[in-house]
Chain A
Amino acid sequence: MTAKNHLDGLKFKAQFDLWGGSLPRSELAWVNMLRQEAMAKFLQFGLPGPKMEAWKYTNLGQLNSGNFDLLTSSDRAGNETAPFESLDGSKIVFTDGFYNKATSTIESQKGVKFLSLNDYMKDYPEAAQKLFNKKDDGSSLQNLNTAIMTGGYVLFVDENTKLAGPIQIIHNTTTSSENKSITTKCFIDLQDNSFAQMVETFIGSDEHNYWRHHVTEAIVGKNAVLEIYQIQQESKKAIHTADTHVDVDQRANFKHYSLNLGGKISRTEIKPTLTGLQSNVDLRGAFLGRNGNSHDVFTHMKHMFPEGTSDQIYRGVLDKGGKSSFQGKVYVAKDAQLTNADQSNKNLILDRNAEANSKPELLIYADDVKCSHGATVGELDAEALYYLKSRGLDQNAAKALLVEAFVAEVFEDIKLEPVRLKYLELALNWLSEETKE
């Protein structure tokens, strides 16, 4: 059975029938069961299809037409570059979706439990089962993720505990990733008054063809702060889908930053639910595309309690052959009075053969709220370009300075300086790469 407007998932079923029992921790009966059940749920729907409004700009039909077999192990001898030399603190590496113990460094801290998901499932089976039960949101891709995941991590931070430093999460690939699905899942649970920063990089090597699907399930307790910084530099042939689900409790703050540069297709989904009074969510991101890149950012902000604030700023730069879409859905429940929800998406088109789509969707059931949204698609400001040229900058330099500024504004309030600088450096590198004819 495939649900309306979905695509069938039979390819994944066939792979799962062959290899599901060999996936990590399938030797544990409860994990095996968890996977089986999740696969069954996935198959009831199938893959989301392009006729669904939310998937209008990203066609996962390519997952059926291409080859994305399951990978049951990896030799993990891959790309070992750490994107941030200047960040110390724990670092966890996933190579082809498998925990890479040799290149990870996990520092212990009182009040912090941080370990590989597979180890957690083995050592704390009861707690792990609860984690999965709590988090089934019924969406078909989440179920597929649970059925075929090969690795991930769990992070628990106790009350009143501040992470000693930002945690780095590195997802890299080896030649084993060719024509494979790479599937990871992680859980973050911050207790009241705690603080965590996660810096997550997705890197692909050698233009390999793979599908990476990464899911983050997070809970941010009262007055706690969670900041996630993502950098997506997948292989030019890859399909990248990253979903973040987060519950943000009373007066808690969730920040999510993303920079999408790589992949043939990228889809970044962020679904925060404001589950307490005066909670606060900030989403910031930039996507830069050319030469067949397609970037899709989909956000769904759910205001369930009064006096919450959410602010979304996304910027796209599309050069020849690049395509993007931003869909920002904001839901304000009847009781979520005095909500303040802002959303802005600006796109710069550098070539006639580039495309940017933008679609806000507001569903507001409370009557005393402030919600704003704005979307623009435009070219570089000719007056500004001339002003710079009149001061001696040539066409390319003037253009680069304006585009850099356009992107930099999204990241300007980042206090983690190495990350802010990394975002700028990567954006600049992207700008200086020539568009291939």
Chain B
Amino acid sequence: MLEIKNLHVEVGGQKILKGLNLTINDGEVHAIMGPNGAGKSTLSYAICGKPGYEITDGSVTFKGKNFLELEASERAGEGVFLGFQYPVEIPGVSNINFLRAAINSVRKYRNEGEMAAGDFLKLIRSKAAELEMDPEMLKRAVNVGFSGGEKKRNEMVQMSMLDPILAVLDETDSGLDIDALRIVADGINRMRCPEKSILVITHYQRLLDYVVPDFVHVLANGKIVKSGDKTLAIRLEKEGYAGLGIEENAA
């Protein structure tokens, strides 16, 4: 599904990713862990086409397409979703209008007609309920005045509405209390199926207790330095990066 080869990314003239390789097949859940500043968010932005993240070498291929040629909006249209580490506040744009615009944009990209207003409202209500979000929040401006946890939950509502093929979730678990973590994890697990894949970026093992990954990678020094199964995350939690011979501030 996603194939990243020898990816080099610079931000503000600084080399952040230096030859990263990662392959995610259909139906797989991958977790990426790594010290602060290692370049995890940079990787998610590079996959999702954020301006300012300059790809100086390497390739990103999604479903056989050269992803680097596509605009951010087109990548969303192809079925990739980015759950932001720091979701952005958008004053004056209600959640519901935002989601309607998003869904219809993606449908337009796929040459599908607009979703009927009634269907849309039914869908959004059911998704908000699944994620135990107060329906009143749908009327409020996107993320404005939301707590850290509410913002993350809102990312999950957006994900379930947009129903992506690949979800890249950047520290979706941070800022969540244990109940909210559970709700968000259930949301992620509902997406799991043989056709869909998930890349979870996290600092903590605890999310991986609920969303059990098929593969765990450690990102440091701009590369994947270690890969393994779910037990790698458990070892990391116990022994720390130093225990695996990785310097904390290696980036």
**Which A residues are closer than 8 A to B by beta carbons?**
381-384, 386-395, 397-398, 401-402, 404-406, 408-409, 412
Taken together as a complex, chains A and B put the C-alpha atoms of A337 and B101 apart, in Å, by 48
Q: Does the CB pair A409–B73 fall under 8 Å?
A: no
Q: Does the CB pair A397–B105 fall under 8 Å?
A: yes
Q: Does the CB pair B76–A389 fall under 8 Å?
A: yes
Pick from A390, A402, A404: contact of B72, CB below 8 A.
A390
Q: Does the CB pair B50–A392 fall under 8 Å?
A: no
Interface string of B45-58 (1 = CB under 8 A from A): 00011110000000
B57-100 contacts to A (CB < 8 Å):
71-73, 75-77, 81-82, 84, 87-93, 97-98
Pick from A383, A398, A406: contact of B73, CB below 8 A.
A398
Contacts between chains A and B (CB distance < 8 A), count: 80
Q: Does the CB pair A390–B93 fall under 8 Å?
A: no
Interface of A is mostly: helix
Nearest opposing residue in chain A for B168, CB measure: A390
Interface status of B162 (Cβ within 8 A of chain A): yes
Taken together as a complex, chains A and B put the C-alpha atoms of A381 and B72 apart, in Å, by 16
Interface status of B102 (Cβ within 8 A of chain A): yes
B residues less than 8 Å from A401 (CB atoms): 93, 97-98, 101
B residues less than 8 Å from A386 (CB atoms): 50-51, 72, 88
Q: Which of A386, A389, A391 has the most CB of B within 10 A?
A: A391
Min C-beta distance of B159 to chain A, whole Å: 10
B residues less than 8 Å from A405 (CB atoms): 90-93, 141
Q: Does the CB pair B92–A408 fall under 8 Å?
A: yes
Pick from A381, A382, A388, A389: contact of B71, CB below 8 A.
A389
Given known contacts A394-B105, A397-B101, A397-B105, is B90 in contact with A389 (CB within 8 Å)? no
Pick from A382, A392, A404, A409: contact of B76, CB below 8 A.
A392
Min C-beta distance of A381 to chain B, whole Å: 8
Q: Does the CB pair B77–A392 fall under 8 Å?
A: yes
Q: Which of B77, B84, B92, B97 has the most CB of A within 10 A?
A: B92
Given known contacts A386-B51, A398-B73, A401-B98, is B90 in contact with A391 (CB within 8 Å)? no
B residues less than 8 Å from A404 (CB atoms): 92-93
Nearest opposing residue in chain B for A383, CB measure: B88
Interface status of B158 (Cβ within 8 A of chain A): yes
A residues less than 8 Å from B89 (CB atoms): 384
Given known contacts A382-B51, A386-B50, A386-B51, is B88 in contact with A392 (CB within 8 Å)? no
Interface status of B204 (Cβ within 8 A of chain A): no
- Top-3 shortest CB links A-B: A405-B92, A392-B76, A391-B102
- 16 A-B pairs within 8 Å (CB atoms) are namely A381-B88, A384-B90, A386-B88, A388-B98, A389-B71, A389-B72, A391-B76, A391-B101, A392-B77, A392-B109, A393-B105, A394-B73, A395-B71, A395-B73, A402-B90, A404-B92
Nearest opposing residue in chain A for B143, CB measure: A387
Taken together as a complex, chains A and B put the C-alpha atoms of A409 and B90 apart, in Å, by 12
A residues less than 8 Å from B77 (CB atoms): 392
A residues less than 8 Å from B31 (CB atoms): none
Taken together as a complex, chains A and B put the C-alpha atoms of A408 and B106 apart, in Å, by 25
Nearest opposing residue in chain A for B90, CB measure: A384
Q: Does the CB pair B48–A390 fall under 8 Å?
A: yes
Pick from A390, A406, A408, A409: contact of B82, CB below 8 A.
A390
Q: Which of B73, B87, B91, B106 has the most CB of A within 10 A?
A: B73
Pick from A382, A387, A402, A406: contact of B87, CB below 8 A.
A387
Nearest opposing residue in chain A for B159, CB measure: A391
Q: Does the CB pair B93–A393 fall under 8 Å?
A: no
Q: Does the CB pair B87–A391 fall under 8 Å?
A: no
Nearest opposing residue in chain B for A382, CB measure: B51
A residues less than 8 Å from B109 (CB atoms): 392
Q: Does the CB pair A389–B73 fall under 8 Å?
A: yes
Q: Does the CB pair A402–B93 fall under 8 Å?
A: yes
Q: Does the CB pair A391–B71 fall under 8 Å?
A: no
A residues less than 8 Å from B75 (CB atoms): 390
